[in-house]
Amino acid sequence: EYNIVRPKGYTVSYHATDEMEKHHFGQTHPMKPWRLTLTKSLVTSYGMPFAMDNYNTRHATYEELSAFHSTDYLDYLATAAPEDQPRESDNEKEPKFNLGGSDCPLFHGLYDYCSMSAGTSLDAARKICNKQSDIAIAWGGGLHHAKKSEASGFCYINDIVLAILQLLRVYPRVLYIDIDVHHGDGVEEAFYSTDRVMTVSFHKYQPDTFFPGTGSLEDNGPQSEHNPGAHHAINVPLNDGITDEQYKNLFENIIGAVNEKFRPSAIALQCGADSLAGDRLGRFNLKVQGHGNCVRFCKSLGLPMIMFGGGGYTPRNVARAWAHETSIAIGADSNIPSTIPEHAPWRDHFIHDTLFPTLTQSLHEPRSNRNSEKRLREIVNHVHEQLRFVQH
């Protein structure tokens, strides 16, 4: 009923599974897999599936997960039960592999949830590798904090690292971009010693008070002569309240320069939606349009691309952003109405019936902007300095 058609000579694939969305981290935990259902229902109510290849994804196998994770860790992840959760009173019971605390609880079906998230991203990566998709969408992935042998910040399996490892079989260089409000530490660390992956994370940075506390401007990968990965990590540390306009200038300047110097052959874009205004955990003032602009800019570079999910703790805004970004991927963003369709399930859940709420609709009291133009210029200058060392 809307003007949604398949883009000509261009394939977008959407990778998801309803099974993943049924899992719960616990009553009041901020991570709600249900936001994926809300996203899918909004995407569907706009008719977008007609313009994409839609895949119901499978579980990643143990062997696939072990391409990055240690078998010790995977074995414990596969067998640990919610009962193994250390209790407050149990002083001596150390959480193993950082599993079972309040950030990374052990919940029923945890291993299934993790292997589905990874399966979604691996399927997306394979479609990019065999050139069956130009853009592959994996909103169930994007869990950038997980380490080789450790869970961290709501992330247990690093599906992004697994997907990039797949891309590296076919593509000489992969550019990883992370617009989640948190630092993409797990992905940065995994590729610290290679010059085939460049990582760029934009995030709120305030050591000690904002998770994970890493990702300073000066963190650019181990700076030793013998390390090919030196200068291949870029960090853009930001303060509360950054606006669409500032973010657009920074993003296009930095990613434009990185693209020219690094000459990536594929892009992995983590679209964490906790950088939106009004996010339960976030601190920025980005609107859906400002967040989506990053996707539009990346698409304009004309490279094969995977779009991952990530954070996002106000589900109605997560669904808005990821539905809008799906429409950008298929080139339908100017064809769909900004009013949420009458027949959309959960329509009332959105409170305001628009895809693009104003700042006051999202926040009631907009956050004050603590990013001075002077500091943003310093950041851009530092990044350009780093890029002088990168030449492909």
**Contact partner, 143, from ligand ZL4, Ca ion, Zn ion, none, Cβ < 5-8 Å per class:** ligand ZL4
Q: Identify residues 329-388 at the interface with ligand ZL4 (CB under 6 A).
A: none
Give the footprint of Zn ion on residues 296-335 (CB under 5 A): 311
Question: What Cα–Cα distance (Å) separates residue 379 from each residue in 213, 250, 385?
Answer: 18, 9, 10
Residue 366 CB-density burial (10 A; 0-12 exposed, 13-18 middle, 19+ buried)? middle
Q: Is 304 strand, coil or helix?
A: coil
Does 272 bind Zn ion (CB under 5 A)? Our answer is yes
In the sheet with 135-138, reading across from the earlier edge strand, the strands are 53-56, 12-16, 135-138, 305-308, 266-270, 174-178, 197-204, 233-238
Contact 218, 262 (CB under 8 A): no
Does 188 bind Zn ion (CB under 5 A)? Our answer is: no
Tokens of 61: 């196998």
Query: In the bound complex, what is the minimum distance in angstroms from residue 283's beta carbon to ligand ZL4?
Result: 11
The secondary structure of 57-77 as a DSSP string is: --PPPHHHHTTTS-HHHHHHH
Q: How far is the CB of 319 from Zn ion (least distance, A)?
A: 16
Q: Are 191 and 168 in contact (CB under 8 A)?
A: no
Told to check if 150 binds ligand ZL4 by CB under 6 A, we report no
What is the C-alpha to C-alpha distance for residues 272 and 158, in angstroms, rounded to an integer?
14
Q: How far is the CB of 270 from ligand ZL4 (least distance, A)?
A: 9
The correct pick among 274, 314, 326, 332 for binding Zn ion (CB under 5 A) is: 274
Strand partners, 16: 56
3-state class percentages of the chain: helix first, strand second, coil last, to nearest 5: 40, 10, 50
Tell me the closest approach of the beta carbon of residue 215 to Ca ion, in angstroms.
8
At 99, list the tokens: 């599993």
The count of chain residues that interact with ligand ZL4, using the rule CB under 6 A, is 20
List the structure tokens of 370.
């603590």
Q: Residue 154 or 171: which CB sits closer to ligand ZL4?
A: 154
Report if residue 64 touches Zn ion, rule: CB under 5 A: no
Applying CB under 5 A, the span of 6-14, 89-97, 175-183, 337-345 interacting with Ca ion comes to 175-183
Pick one of 221, 229, 292, 311: the residue that binds ligand ZL4 (CB under 6 A): 311
The candidate with the shortest Cα–Cα distance to 291, out of 181, 155, 204, is 181
Query: Token digits for 155?
Result: 């992330």
Task: Count other Cβ atoms within 10 Å, centred on residue 392.
Answer: 12
User: CB 178 → ligand ZL4: shortest distance, Å?
Assistant: 9
Catalytic residue among 23, 145, 182, 231: 145
Query: Which 95-134 residues touch ligand ZL4, going by CB under 6 A?
Result: 102-103
The answer to whether 241 and 284 are in contact (CB under 8 A) is yes
**227, 194 in Cβ contact below 8 A?**
no
Find the helix packing angle between 110-129 and 71-79, rounded to 10°: 130
Q: Is 145 a catalytic residue?
A: yes
47 binds ligand ZL4 (CB under 6 A): no
Nearest approach, Cβ of 119 to ligand ZL4 (angstroms)? 17
If the CB atoms of residues 93 and 280 are measured against Ca ion, the closer one turns out to be: 280
Over the window 11 to 30, marking each residue x when it contacts ligand ZL4 by CB under 6 A and - when it does not, the resulting string is ---------------x-xxx
CA distances from 9 to 5, 12, 34, 316 (A): 12, 10, 33, 33
Which tokens go with 358?
């104003």
CB nearer to ligand ZL4: give 282 or 304.
282
Per-residue binding letters, 86-105, with Zn ion (x by CB under 5 A): --------------------
Residue 178: contacted member of Zn ion, Ca ion, ligand ZL4, none (CB under 5 to 8 Å, by partner type): Ca ion
Q: Which of 21, 134, 159, 180 binds ligand ZL4 (CB under 6 A)?
A: 180
Contact residues for Ca ion (CB under 5 A)?
Answer: 178, 180, 184, 201, 203
Contact residues for ligand ZL4 (CB under 6 A)?
Answer: 26, 28-30, 102-103, 143-145, 153-155, 180, 182, 211, 272, 274, 281, 310-311
Residues known to be catalytic: 145
